[in-house]
Amino acid sequence: MAAIPLPTSIDQTAELLRSGGYVAERSLATALFLALAMKRPLFLEGEAGVGKTEIAKVLSHTLKRDLIRLQCYEGLDISSAVYEWNYPRQIMAIRLAEAAGKSTDAAQQIYSEQYLIKRPLMQALETHDGGPPVLLIDELDRTDEPFEAFLLEVLSDFQVTIPELGTVKADQPPIVIITSNRTREIHDALKRRCLYHWVDYPNAERERAILAAKAPDVGEKLGTQVVNFVQMLRGMELFKPPGIAETIDWAMALKVLNARELEPATVDATLGVVLKYQDDIARVRGVVATQGVEAAKKAAG
C-alpha cells in the first residue's frame, strides 16, 4: 500500500481532512500543515468530544499510514507504553538451555529482540511499509507526570533507550498527534516540543457541515434543528455539554424514529442519546426542552 504524499499547502491539508469526512477550521488546517511540514508533534487540547482523536484517525486513513494508538490512563508506565521483556519465554529458554548444558549462552541471549514485546511507542519508531505511521497519544492528561518526563526523549529525538539493547531510533519520525482534555496542565517542557492548537466546539454553520458529512440521510431540516438545539445545550451550565459525536448520534437516532423535525415529546424521550448525566437530563427535560425546540425551529426558519 503506497502512502499518499503529505500536503504541500494549508488548502491541501484542509481538503485532505475533508476527504476523510472531517470539516476543519482553517486555523486547525494551518496547525496540522505546519506540524507535518516541520515534522513536529501536534498537541491538541480541548473539551472531550470536540473531535481531537478523530484527526489522527482521518490522517491515517487519508494518508494510508498505519495508526498506532497509545490510550493514556493513570498509572501508565514504560512496560505498557514502550516495551517489556517476555519473561515466560525467557525462563523457558533458560530452562531448555540448562537441560542442554548451555545455560551460560542462554543467559546472554535472552535479552535480544526476539524476547522483546513492543508496545505502541516502540512500534511507532519502527520502519513501516507505507511510510512513517500516525502515532496517537490520546488523553495525555490522564497520565502521571513521571510518564510525561519519559516522553521528552521520545518527542525530542524520536528514540527510546533500552538498557539491555541500547538506543532504538526511528529512521523517519512518525506523525505524532497528542490530545488532552485539560483535566490537568501538561508540563511546559513537553509542550515546547510540540505545535499547539486548541480545538473548540464548532459553531452552528460548521456543525451543520459536519453533520451533513457524517449523517447525510438525516436531512437538512431535521439536521439544522438538531444542531440549533445542541448549540443551545452548550450554552447552558451542564455538567457535560454534548460533543460532536453526540450531535451525530442524536440526529441518527431521531432518523431511526422517523422524526422529520424536533418535537418536545421526542426530545424528552431521547435526551439520553445527547446527554450522559442524569442531572443534566433532568435539568433539560420538560419546559427547557420545549422552549429549546421552539427556539431551534425558529432559528432554522
Tens digits of residue pLDDT in 217-247: 999 999 999 999 999 999 999 999 999 999 9
Neighbours of 141 (CB within 10 A): 16
Residue 56 pLDDT more than 80?
A: yes
Note the pLDDT of residue 106.
Answer: 59
Mean pLDDT of the chain: 91
Provide the pLDDT confidence category of residue 57 given band limits of 50, 70 and 90. Answer: very high
> Which region among 8-17, 95-104, 122-131, 263-272 has the lowest average model confidence (pLDDT)?
95-104
Note the pLDDT of residue 145.
Answer: 85
Provide the pLDDT confidence category of residue 90 given band limits of 50, 70 and 90. Answer: confident
Q: What percent of the chain has pLDDT over 90?
A: 71
Note the pLDDT of residue 105.
Answer: 60
Query: What string of DSSP letters covers 163-194?
Result: TTTEEEE-SS--EEEEEE--SSPPPHHHHTTS
Query: Alpha-carbon Rg of the chain, whole angstroms?
Result: 24
User: How is residue 23 written as a grid cell?
Assistant: 470539516
Note the pLDDT of residue 274.
Answer: 95
- Alpha-carbon torsion angle 261, 265, 266, 271, nearest 10: 120
Note the pLDDT of residue 102.
Answer: 64
Tens digits of residue pLDDT in 165-193: 888 899 999 999 999 999 999 989 999 99
| CA-based nearest residue to 244, from 56, 252, 188 | 252
Cβ atoms of 155 and 194 within 8 Å: the answer is yes
Note the pLDDT of residue 154.
Answer: 85
Note the pLDDT of residue 222.
Answer: 95
Residue 82 pLDDT more than 70?
A: yes
Task: Please return the burial class of 136, using the count of CB atoms within 10 Å of its CB with bins 0-12, 13-18 and 19+.
Answer: buried
DSSP tag of 200: P
Residue count of the chain: 301
Could you give the angle at the alpha carbon of 13 between the alpha carbons of 10 and 19, nearest 5°? 145
Q: How many angstroms separate the Cα of 257 from the Cα of each of 247, 284, 285?
A: 16, 21, 19
